[in-house]
Chain A
Amino acid sequence: MKIENPDFRLPEGGTGKRVLICEINIAELSVAAMEFNLPNGFDFFEVLIRDIRLTDDDVTMNMQVGDSTNELISDNIYNWMMYRSSLAGGEFTSAVDDNRFALAPTGLALGIGNDLNEGFNSEVIIHNAWNDRVFFHMSAKSVFMDASVSTDISHSLIGGGLSVVRQIDRISFIPSSGNFLSGIFKVYGITGATGGA
């Protein structure tokens, strides 16, 4: 599912604003990916993802970005790091020259489940979208419970960026297998008095 915002306009006025760009409630739909356009002119974006239920068990959540010449970029230009804490302890993982950002542990046994009590939640911060001077950056916090291993809460802190400069204008969230079944996505743009980067 691709979400376009062709008629969106920045708020007028000289003060900063946090604007809800898009809110999608997936209710009993089965979609393989959720893609959002990012309007130009914001300082940064916040994406709040909550109560996501998936069709498949033990998967990770990926994020890809795109620009005007690439619907979504699948080249190996993604670098990311993740620290996961759970009942099993802490674990640091990272990837260089990957083809996506990971928003949840990539070890399948530690992955996101598909039961009602295994909902996936995340807050993703987008830096330097639409910027042709510096690299795109992102950070995120994700939490879910893995009920298949044990009743184990999983909390992940993620940071990453692209290794080349791209004018990013869209993002997509993609489970490593299966589809989204339900959940809510909210995309906010944060703009300041200067009107953005």
Chain B
Amino acid sequence: MRFSFNNGASYAAGASDYAWALWGGNTTTGAINQIDAADTGILCSQTTNGLGSTNPVNSYAARILLMNPFGGRMFPTLQGEHVSLDGGAVQTWAYFSGIYRIAASGVNGIRIMASTGNLTQGVFSVYGIN
């Protein structure tokens, strides 16, 4: 995931724009811990068992909370959890968090994208909580 601070005109993608941590596992190899202190985006699924496309029922489901989206005093941060199947239909799952580490800027757009290829189906719902 990447953040926009100009209503979607562009998305921050600098090499050190984000930091993230992820903890999860899968039913084959066990626990997985991943972390990156300087990345171009926030990882929202484990890469040890990447999301698959070969199995027609490979799927990704997640809930992500964006905290402090309007910035000002604290840097924008998110936390989330995902459950999914990898290309070999292995059950995977992870909890993750990330931060935009450059400035306390107000987020007014998010981009969710696959590391390669495209999203071919699914439902996204974005809610505001006040």
Contacts and interface: CB of A to CB of B under 8 A. Distances in A.
Indicate, yes or no, whether A interacts with B. yes
A139 B125 contact: no
A176 B123 CA distance: 35
B63 A44 contact: yes
Contacts, number: 83
Contact of B31 (A92, A96, A194): A92
Contact of B83 (A92, A96, A138): A138
A18 interface: yes
Interface stretch (A62-70, A108-116, A159-167): A159-167
Interface string B36-67: 00000000000000000000011101010000
Interface in A178-197: 190, 192, 194, 196-197
A44 B61 CA distance: 10
Given A43-B125, A137-B83, A94 B25 contact: yes
Interface residues of A, number: 33
Contact of A94 (B27, B59, B81): B27
B57 A81 contact: no
Chain B's interface size range is 20 to 34
Give the interface SS of chain B, mostly helix, strand, loop or mixed: strand
Contacts of A137: 59, 61, 83-84
Given A83-B31, A165-B57, A159 B127 contact: no
Contacts of A194: 123
A139 B93 contact: yes
A10 interface: no
Contacts of B81: 125, 139, 157, 159
Q: Kindly list the 8 A-B residue pairs having the minimum CB-CB distance in the complex, ordered from nearest.
A: A159-B93, A127-B61, A134-B59, A192-B125, A79-B91, A137-B83, A92-B31, A137-B61
Interface of A: 16, 18, 43-44, 79-81, 83, 92, 94-96, 125, 127-128, 133-135, 137-139, 157-161, 163, 165, 190, 192, 194, 196-197
Given A138-B83, A139-B81, A139-B93, 15 more contacts: A16-B127, A18-B127, A43-B123, A44-B63, A79-B27, A80-B91, A81-B93, A96-B91, A125-B63, A127-B83, A133-B121, A157-B81, A159-B25, A160-B91, A163-B89
21 contacts: A16-B127, A81-B24, A81-B26, A81-B93, A92-B25, A92-B30, A134-B58, A135-B57, A135-B85, A137-B61, A137-B83, A137-B84, A157-B23, A159-B25, A159-B81, A159-B91, A160-B91, A161-B91, A190-B127, A192-B123, A194-B123
